[in-house]
Amino acid sequence: MLRRQPMPELDPRERIHTFDEVALGYNEEQAIEEAKRCLQCPRPTCVQGCPVGIDIPSFILCIREGRFEDAVKVIKKKNHLPAICGRVCPVEEQCENSCILNKRGEPIAIGNLERFASDCERRSGSRVIERAEPTGKRVAVVGSGPAGLTAAADLAKFGHEVTIFEALHVPGGVLMYGIPEFRLPKKIVEEEIDYVKKLGVNIKTDVLVGRTITVDELLQEFDAVFIGTGAGPPQFLGIPGENLAMVFSANEFLTRVNLMKAYDFPDYDTPIRIGKRVAVIGAGNVAFDSARSALRLGAEEVSIVYRRTEKEMPARLEEIKRAKEEGVEFKLLTLPVRLLGDEKGCVKAMECVRMELGPPDSSGRRSPAPIKGSNFVFDVDTVIVAIGRTPNPLVPSTTSGLKVSGKGTIVVDDAARTSRIGVFAGGDIVTGEATVIKAMGAGRKAASAIHSYVMREKNWPSF
Amino acid sequence: MYEIVEKKVLAPEIKLYKVNAPLVARKARPGQFVILRVGERGERIPLTIVDFDRGKGTITIIFQEVGKTTKQLGLLGQGDCILNLVGPLGIPLEERFFGTVACAGGGVGTAEVYPLARALKNAGNFVISIIGARSKELLVLEHEMRGVSDELYITTDDGSKGIRGFVTEPLRAMLDGGRKIDLVIAVGPVPMMKAVSDLTREKGIKTLVSLNPLMLDGMGMCGVCRVTVGGRTRFTCVEGPMFDGHEVDFDELKARLQTYFEQERLSLQKFHGLVK
């Protein structure tokens, strides 16, 4: 069996001094070699593993035959933002996990090939833009993250007049403020968003729905509304000392670095400060993005502090591996209980307790429990809290009759319909914090439900 | 793009802009603020909505030039544009009858207390205003404050106008004299808001302060503006900016405000180098 083509990467010693993209992408030869490994299954299981159902064997066949433009056309039937998905999808849990080769060896590098195809298209500068016959229907999309962008692109392809309302000064949501440049270059995100605009989607930034305008008001102007406002306020641990200076939420830290380009301070105006010894609390992708950003900003020691073991870490394997290569340290089975400050109110140390994994709970996960008397203190001068985010409450709290779950997520049916007639929702605001591709899948599903609704179906389920 | 339709210089380094922002003007209420970004490489900074004209679609902001961004903003003129501006943000003031209300504004905080005093006056309250500045040249909105107040006291640190001392002086005199005050509102630098809150705590008078922590998105997404109020962590941008002054941990707020002190100095230095 042929070996999987390795992804060329920047050397770890070089890359920790720059925010440049780590993974360099396949060249044509490597892509074709990798495409040749695909068995072209008549009943492909990989497609089932893809949340948007891309016809994976077909686009891989195009690459194998050197028809790179055709490969992109196949992908774009299902996914408008392949340059993004090819970089950030947790493929090891999705398409590549379902690849038949995974049973005996290494699965096809589907993500790498998707990235290759879309990068070819971008480099060639020849983008196919198909604009549909206008239907005369108007749809408002709230939020320009992966869910909103996908819904908007699909709706534009159906011929509807689409306006996206974005609260920040640039569109893209987590793609712009959350995922770092070294994993997802912002120029690529901008080009993908440009493609969505060329489909006819109008994007209004600086509009905070819930404050600047409400969903109820949007419904007076638009035939339907899609809510894709994503995950919202960061969670903190609720331990003493958490409001000391130099304690950041990952969201603040990453927004400064990614959206505001604080790594280029003072050429950009937004400042960032990084100490010598940084502790990042949490072990999801956001924690790893924060840790690796901290290294690139010049921190001498960066550790991931996690209450379980490496096996339970929710981050992508690839990123965990890259973080290790870059020198990020792991403090496992460790739970912070208190942050200690200096006389200026800055954090100077962290008190933690050691944990042990108990027996599996009802969900099969071994839950960690503190070991009594195992407390210890270590010095830190920067703490980044990356333990997750709660659903954004602004739209639910300012929209009449919108049903919300106990967790604060918006309740929808199978067709993304909320309890308000004409209002649809998808992405993290419905599921809680999830992945980019799942949000795209939700946006896509909502778009087809919205299409049916505005074109004919006026019935609505009761909640 | 948000056009500056009118510019006034209120004091050396304190400027007033009327900015065309119809969507914000339509919804704005006293106590709310906007976040703006001057240019392409700019940072996002919060500024209070001092006034709004729903008919003309404008809002008024007043700012003091204290660092790079506010100095850069101050260089703009009528007809120039601010690149980004989002709002209205934060929870507005509860516009109702309290009785006798004392409104204290320190420095450029006077501009922030003005819409609150006006709203409270319109709600039928007896409004006593105390406005203060380092010296008389830095005193702003005296005329406007007089227009919305039943009584107005002026203080300057150097005694160049009104009472010599801080805004706490006339307030203390009133309270010591047994004057009945139902609500105190204080807006200004952290030490001023802390001093007012300490003073009214002894007398058990409800006191609202409008906090000024660092902000980034201003929409509750990052928590840089978090403060401890009554032992609980609150996000100023979505749960404030007004909180009970007796419950705010001002020392913590002050420490957090100093996080980027060094960088702010560097940024301003670089800007001066470029401008000269």
Concatenated DSSP letters of chain B: -EEEEEEEEEETTEEEEEEE-HHHHHH--TT-EEEEE-STTPPPEEEE--EEETTTTEEEEEEE--SHHHHHHHT--TT-EESEEEEEESPPP--S--SEEEEEEETTHHHHHHHHHHHHHHTT-EEEEEEEESSGGG---HHHHHHT-SEEEEEETTSSSSEES-THHHHHHHHHTT---SEEEEESSHHHHHHHHHHHHHHT--EEEE-----SSSSSSS-TTEEEETTEEEEHHHH-SEEETTTB-HHHHHHHHTTTHHHHHHHHHHHHHHH-
Q: Does A244 sit within 8 Å of B255, measured CB to CB?
A: yes
Q: Does B24 sit within 8 Å of A252, measured CB to CB?
A: no
- List all residues of chain A from 237 to 256 with a beta carbon under 8 Å from chain B: 238, 242-246, 248-249, 251-252, 255-256
Question: What residues in A contact B221, CB-CB < 8 Å?
Answer: 232-234, 251, 255, 392
Q: Using 50, 70 and 90 to split pLDDT, how confident is the model at A128?
A: low
Pairing of strands B183-187, B207-210: parallel
Which residues partner with B102 through β-bridges? B128, B184
Q: Does A242 sit within 8 Å of B27, measured CB to CB?
A: no
Task: Give the whole-angstrom CA distance, residue B9 versus residue B62.
Answer: 10
pLDDT value at residue A363: 74
What ipTM score was computed for the predicted complex, to two decimals?
Answer: 0.95
Q: Is the pLDDT of residue A126 over 90?
A: no
| Interface mutation target, options A206, A247, A347, chain B, most CBs of B under 10 Å | A206
Q: Average pLDDT in the A120-142 region? A: 85
The alpha-carbon gap from A207 to the nearest alpha carbon of chain B, in Å, equals 6
Identify which of A174, A228, A234, A175 has the alpha carbon closest to the alpha carbon of residue A389.
Answer: A234
Question: What residues in B contact A270, CB-CB < 8 Å?
Answer: 43-44, 216
Question: What residues in B contact A169, CB-CB < 8 Å?
Answer: 37, 44, 83-84, 86
The alpha-carbon gap from B25 to the nearest alpha carbon of chain A, in Å, equals 9
Q: Average pLDDT in the A387-414 region? A: 94
- List all residues of chain A from 221 to 240 with a beta carbon under 8 Å from chain B: 232-234, 236, 238
Q: Does B216 sit within 8 Å of A252, measured CB to CB?
A: yes
Question: What residues in A contact B261, CB-CB < 8 Å?
Answer: none
The alpha-carbon gap from A27 to the nearest alpha carbon of chain B, in Å, equals 34
When CB atoms are compared, the residue of B43, B86, B249 closest to A206 is B86
When CB atoms are compared, the residue of A238, A246, A267 closest to B259 is A246
**Minimal-distance CA residue of chain A relative to B235:** A233
| Prediction pTM value | 0.95
A165, two tokens = 């309302």
Kindly report the length of chain B.
Answer: 276
Question: What residues in A contact B36, CB-CB < 8 Å?
Answer: none
Q: Does A243 sit within 8 Å of B227, measured CB to CB?
A: yes
E strand or H helix at A398: helix A394-398
Residues B134, B136, B141, B145, CA torsion sign = positive
**Contact between B243 and B91 (Cβ < 8 Å):** no
Q: Does B233 sit within 8 Å of A270, measured CB to CB?
A: no
How many other CB atoms are found less than 10 A from the CB of residue A448?
15
Q: Does B44 sit within 8 Å of A169, measured CB to CB?
A: yes
Question: What residues in B contact A211, CB-CB < 8 Å?
Answer: 27, 87-89
Asked if A169 is an interface residue toward chain B (Cβ–Cβ < 8 A), one would say yes
Question: What residues in A contact B270, CB-CB < 8 Å?
Answer: 266
**Residue the block writes with tokens 């927004």:** A255
Residues A196-221 pLDDT 10s: 999 999 999 999 999 999 999 999 99
The alpha-carbon gap from B182 to the nearest alpha carbon of chain A, in Å, equals 30
Residues B236-259 pLDDT 10s: 999 999 999 999 999 999 999 999
Beta strand ranges found along B1-44 (DSSP E): 2-11, 14-20, 33-37
Q: Using 50, 70 and 90 to split pLDDT, how confident is the model at A114?
A: very high
Pairing of strands A301-305, A329-331: parallel
Question: What residues in A contact B223, CB-CB < 8 Å?
Answer: 233-234, 236, 249, 251-252
| Amino acid residing at B276 | K
Q: End-to-end alpha-carbon separation of chain B, Å?
A: 27
Task: Give the whole-angstrom CA distance, residue B67 versus residue B44.
Answer: 13
**Minimal-distance CA residue of chain B relative to A256:** B216
Residues A152-202 pLDDT 10s: 999 999 999 999 999 999 999 999 999 999 999 999 999 889 999 999 999
Residues A328, A329, A333, A338, CA torsion sign = negative
Identify which of A321, A239, A328, A332 has the alpha carbon closest to the alpha carbon of residue A290.
Answer: A328
pLDDT value at residue A457: 66
**Minimal-distance CA residue of chain A relative to B70:** A269
**Which of A87-91, A122-126, A278-282, B106-110 shows the lowest per-residue confidence on average (mean pLDDT)?**
A122-126
Q: Does A244 sit within 8 Å of B87, measured CB to CB?
A: no
Q: Using 50, 70 and 90 to split pLDDT, how confident is the model at A55?
A: very high
When CB atoms are compared, the residue of B43, B219, B260 closest to A208 is B219
DSSP classification of residue A175: H
Q: Is the pLDDT of residue A254 over 90?
A: yes
Question: What residues in A contact B44, CB-CB < 8 Å?
Answer: 169, 260, 270
Q: Does A394 sit within 8 Å of B256, measured CB to CB?
A: no
**Can you list the residues of chain B whose pLDDT is less than 50?**
none
Q: Does B84 sit within 8 Å of A205, measured CB to CB?
A: yes
Identify which of A271, A235, A233 has the alpha carbon closest to the alpha carbon of residue A253.
Answer: A271
The alpha-carbon gap from B257 to the nearest alpha carbon of chain A, in Å, equals 8
Task: Give the whole-angstrom CA distance, residue A96 versus residue A100.
Answer: 9
Rounded (10°) angle between helices A68-76 and A110-124: 110
Task: Give the whole-angstrom CA distance, residue A305 versus residue A313.
Answer: 11
Q: Does B23 sit within 8 Å of A213, measured CB to CB?
A: yes
Average pLDDT over chain A reads 94
- Cis-peptide into B241, omega within 30 deg: yes
pLDDT value at residue A122: 84
E strand or H helix at A251: helix A250-254
A341, two tokens = 């400050």
Q: Does A213 sit within 8 Å of B264, measured CB to CB?
A: no
pLDDT value at residue A456: 80
Task: Give the whole-angstrom CA distance, residue A117 versus residue A281.
Answer: 36
Q: Does A345 sit within 8 Å of B255, measured CB to CB?
A: yes
- Show the DSSP H helices in A297-336 as ranges: 317-326
| Interface mutation target, options B45, B84, B219, chain A, most CBs of A under 10 Å | B219
SS3 at position A255: helix
DSSP classification of residue A107: P
pLDDT value at residue A243: 97
| Amino acid residing at B69 | T
Task: Give the whole-angstrom CA distance, residue A449 versus residue A433.
Answer: 23
Which residues partner with B14 through β-bridges? B11, B64
Q: Does B264 sit within 8 Å of A271, measured CB to CB?
A: yes
User: In angstroms, what CA-CA distances link A296 with A16, A257, A288, A384?
Assistant: 5, 10, 12, 15
Q: Is the pLDDT of residue A2 over 80?
A: no
